[in-house]
Amino acid sequence: MADDATRDRVRALVREVLEKAGPDSPAPTPTRFVNTVSESTAQPAVTRDESAKSVITEDDVRGLEPGAVLRIGEDARLTPLAADIVSEKKIEIVRRTSRGGSKASKLIAVGADHGGFKMKEELKAVLSELGHKVQDFGAYSEEAVDYPDFAHAVARAVADGGSDLGIVIDGAGVGSAMTANKVPGVRAAACYSVDVARNSREHNDANVLTLGSKTISSAQMREIVKVWLSTEISEDRHRKRVAKIDAIQRQYQR
111 with 137: CB under 8 angstroms?
A: yes
Is the peptide bond between 155 and the residue preceding it cis, with omega within 30 degrees of 0?
Answer: no
Whole-Å CA distances, 63 to 47, 56, 66, 234: 11, 13, 10, 33
**Quick one: 169 exposed, middle or buried, by C-beta within 10 A (0-12, 13-18, 19+)?**
buried
Q: How many CB atoms sit inside 10 A of residue 168's CB?
A: 31
154 with 207: CB under 8 angstroms?
A: no
Q: At what angle do helices 218-230 and 194-202 cross, to 10 degrees?
A: 20
**Which residues are known catalytic residues?**
203
What's the CA gap between 175 and 85, in Å, rounded?
A: 34
24 with 242: CB under 8 angstroms?
A: no
Of the candidates 169, 176, 162, 217, the one whose C-alpha atom is nearest the C-alpha of residue 194 is 217
Q: Residues near 30 by Cβ (< 8 Å), separated by ≥ 6? A: 87, 184, 185, 246
Q: How many CB atoms sit inside 10 A of residue 29's CB?
A: 16
